[in-house]
Structure 1
Amino acid sequence: MDAIDVIRAKRDGGELSPEQIDWAVAAYTRGEIAEEQMSSLAMAILLNGMSRAEVSRWTQAMIDSGERMHWSALDRPTTDKHSTGGVGDKITLPLAPAVAACGAAVPQLSGRGLGHTGGTLDKLESIPGWRASLSTIEMLDVLNSTGAVVCAAGDGLAPADRKLYALRDVTGTVESIPLIASSIMSKKIAEGTGALVLDVKVGSGAFMKTHRDARDLAETMVAIGTDHGVRTIALLTAMDRPLGNAVGNAVEVAESLEVLSGGGPSDVVDLTVALAREMLAAAGLSGAKDPADALRDGSAMDVWRRMITAQGGDPHAPLPVARESYEFTAPFAGVLTRLDAFGVGVAAWRLGAGRARKEDPVSFGAGIICHAKPGDKVAEGAPLLSLYADDVARFPRALEALEGAVEIVEDAVPDPSPLILDRVG
């Protein structure tokens, strides 16, 4: 095989053969294909796309670059969820315990936040003592004892994807739907789950801004899962406004605890239950206990406490609180018609809740609490957002991010838009 021939084939709109794909991914992982050559191939894929067969084989090649996890020792079926990322998206926290409380095992490998989107591991690390890094044996122990585990992916899982992702990030090829889909699905399939539910976010705070692009990504990922024997479905959900009321790390954990206690914001509860039902159905447990009941009766909370404890955390410890706060108030009375997810996400990032680079630290107590959501009536001077940071010097830049993110109309009729927009699979 020759890298130039593979690049030319895709550059000219051709379909790569299985042998070409296998060789290119393996050779790049070994360092035998130069970075500039893989950059050219990634750009050719971005411009010319890939067929279903190509995407499926590319995904398999990335899986084959590392280890694959197996959960055959468990006495219950496995099912997992992946979100494409958003603002206030703390769904994994109540979802994994709720699904486990209904009879499935949830091996959830999660990531950290970057930019305006939050990371599940950052949220959980605000719990004193909790640790994200577990070996496969430790994951199995936690799954056996609690039914759910949320942790970081090890270095041995799809190393080709990790190397290619870093390259795409600096070569303008992040937006390629075949490469996005294969990146996500290679890790999820290597994770070894038997069923997978995808939460594909749509809107200003999401990676996919339009319904068309989000559906294209969802259909590609569902096809990959199907081709690899993993029962996969996708929900397209709104990310034009923040999910729930809390945006940050510890503040999102606190809100998740409200949901696990049978309360919490209705959108977080509704999406948790909808995804949980899909996960259970995909795992063949559609006749099991309803996850809404698991949230109401405390059984999901029981799983949460055992899961956090099993990973070294103290589920009863106080969560971090930021030292400083600022109230963002309504300039006049009316109906809140817009609370832009991207603007709120960037503001939380600038308060310290997020990071610009993977190695940056985060402030666990920083974040935002939304006191009103689109469709709500607000009074003049009423608090719309509470901002939290450890340093008052962070507030001016956060407020800049909120300019134009909030819209109030005096005579508007409340008209909340739907949360779940579409389903694929």
Structure 2
Amino acid sequence: MTHTAVDVIRAKRDGDRLTDAQIDWVVDAYTRGVVADEQMSALAMAIFLNGMDSAETARWTHAMINSGEKLTLDVGRPTVDKHSTGGVGDKITLPLAPLVAACGAAVPQLSGRGLGHTGGTLDKLEAIPGWRAQLSVDEVVAQLRSVGAVICAATSGLAPADKKLYALRDVTGTVEAIPLIASSIMSKKIAEGAEALVLDVKVGSGAFMKSLDQARALATALVSIGVDHGLRVSALLTDMSVPLGRAVGNAVEVAESIEVLRGGGPSDVVDLTVALAEEMLSRAGISASPREVLASGEAYETWARMIRAQGGDPDAPLPLARHEHVVTAPADGYLTKLDAYAVGVAAWRLGAGRARKEDPVQPGAGILCLAKPGDRLAEGQPLLLLRTDTPDAIPAALDSLSGGYDIGPAAPAATPLIIDTIRG
């Protein structure tokens, strides 16, 4: 049967279910340049407005996987990956990958860069002198065999359809379409070749999904796609209303991750790292105690080997920004609010993030949260420490923080970090 872009657009515009043949054709034709950007833009908007059912979404994901290569990871260990939908201070991949590897799994973590208020794993690791993100497939496989963990950029051959469509969605107001989000995430993860996957779906002000209903819908879609493609998959819904840990930025988050790997670090980072590790090991069929392994120092040794394998020096001093500014508590009382989005935007304005994909980042820029909700403060006590190489950025960062924190007479009620778990 011969298809045309206009016929496929009209079908979804009118609320029809796209057939497998229509989906396969339009994704392949768009990847090859037969379907123009303006036509795929119209289809993406029709999907945004009318949705896709689980079978359509699974087929769309399948077509995006088939647009490129799929890795085969024969590395002598069970393979399991993790993906986070992104947040503020979300450095969990850094301690998690070596921890799970130290427990006996292989972790092929293909990661990305930050855009806007959410940080990127590769940006954080590039704060380490000498570390490189670009690896060949042969290097990825060799490192998984020798170290058990790799964190690197995705190769250009994985799901090239997603790369084109992702850029298009960013400029056409269709980023929030759950079927397109889910297929974007899962096409890359399935093409990566891991046998199991654990998803960290963030919910709250600092997350992409602001409401629990949105986050649950996305998590359900992600798990459904994974099951349809033979993955052992789970999704944890986790809170992102408050920054994770105390460090927000690049080098500062690496430093905090190293604290965790050495047996210390903030309790929320440790708890989430351990919870995700337990779920990953369960999905990989491995019986181990990640909390004990973390305390033993084995995870740190795996981290050091992983960094060295990618050209980095785990013992080198991390970059420090040249300028600092302290934000102090305006009154006595308890910190009742520290908004993740406000802190994330402030760190971005200080130079820790980028507005466009081609923008550079400052490795030493960021924010240290010297207090977290529930802490008692005295008027004038340091609350936030801002770091940047461009002091002219400090007023804009302070403007972003306006209304982002509150002091009250009583401590706020504790909220759970892990809200729910969905398993396939």
TM-score (normalizing by structure 1): 0.98
How do 1:378-393 and structure 2 match up within 5 A? 378-393=377-392
C-alpha distance in 2 between matches for 1:187 and 1:309: 26
- Tell me what 2:157 maps to: 156
C-alpha distance in 2 between matches for 1:291 and 1:397: 41
CA contact (8 A) 2:246 2:266 kept: yes
- Tell me what 1:307 maps to: 306
CA contact (8 A) 1:376 1:414 kept: no
Alignment counterpart, residue 420 of structure 2, candidates 407, 419, 422 = 422
Alignment counterpart, residue 14 of structure 2, candidates 12, 15, 21 = 12
How do 1:206-225 and structure 2 match up within 5 A? 206-225=207-226
Establish whether residue 240 from structure 1 lines up as the match of residue 248 from structure 2. no
The code of the aligned residue for 1:348 comes to A
What is the root-mean-square deviation of aligned Cα atoms in Å? 0.6
- Tell me what 1:70 maps to: 72
Q: Any unmatched runs of 5+ in structure 1?
A: none
CA contact (8 A) 2:336 2:411 kept: no
How do 1:171-250 and structure 2 match up within 5 A? 171-250=172-251
CA contact (8 A) 1:26 1:65 kept: yes
Displacement of 1:413 in angstroms is: 3.2
How many percent identity over aligned positions?
69
- Tell me what 2:4 maps to: 2
Displacement of 1:36 in angstroms is: 1.1
C-alpha distance in 2 between matches for 1:217 and 1:42: 17
Displacement of 1:295 in angstroms is: 1.0
The code of the aligned residue for 1:375 comes to G
C-alpha distance in 2 between matches for 1:320 and 1:413: 35
The code of the aligned residue for 1:340 comes to D
How do 1:298-337 and structure 2 match up within 5 A? 298-337=297-336
Residue by residue over 1:371-409, the C-alpha shift from the partner in whole angstroms, topping out at 9 and shown as x without a partner, is 111111111111000000012111111000000001111
Displacement of 1:366 in angstroms is: 0.4
C-alpha distance in 1 between matches for 2:392 and 2:12: 50
Equivalent residues, number: 421
C-alpha distance in 1 between matches for 2:52 and 2:233: 20
Alignment counterpart, residue 27 of structure 1, candidates 26, 29, 35 = 29
How do 1:272-351 and structure 2 match up within 5 A? 272-285=273-286, 287=287, 289-351=288-350
- Tell me what 2:397 maps to: 398
Displacement of 1:270 in angstroms is: 0.2
- Tell me what 1:115 maps to: 116
CA contact (8 A) 1:99 1:106 kept: yes
Displacement of 1:66 in angstroms is: 0.3
CA contact (8 A) 2:375 2:411 kept: no
The code of the aligned residue for 2:245 comes to G
C-alpha distance in 2 between matches for 1:237 and 1:46: 25
C-alpha distance in 1 between matches for 2:353 and 2:7: 42
Displacement of 1:316 in angstroms is: 0.2
SS in 2 for 1:407: strand
- Tell me what 1:51 maps to: 53
C-alpha distance in 1 between matches for 2:390 and 2:214: 39
Displacement of 1:414 in angstroms is: 3.9
**Structure 1 stretches of 4+ moved >6 Å:** none
TM-score (normalizing by structure 2): 0.99
Displacement of 1:157 in angstroms is: 0.6
SS in 2 for 1:181: helix
C-alpha distance in 2 between matches for 1:281 and 1:124: 27
Establish whether residue 365 from structure 1 lines up as the match of residue 364 from structure 2. yes
Residue by residue over 1:61-110, the C-alpha shift from the partner in whole angstroms, topping out at 9 and shown as x without a partner, is 000000000112x1110001000000000000000000000000000000
Displacement of 1:416 in angstroms is: 2.1
- Tell me what 1:86 maps to: 87
SS in 1 for 2:385: strand
C-alpha distance in 2 between matches for 1:394 and 1:31: 41
Displacement of 1:221 in angstroms is: 0.3
Displacement of 1:412 in angstroms is: 1.4
- Tell me what 2:102 maps to: 101
The code of the aligned residue for 1:311 comes to Q
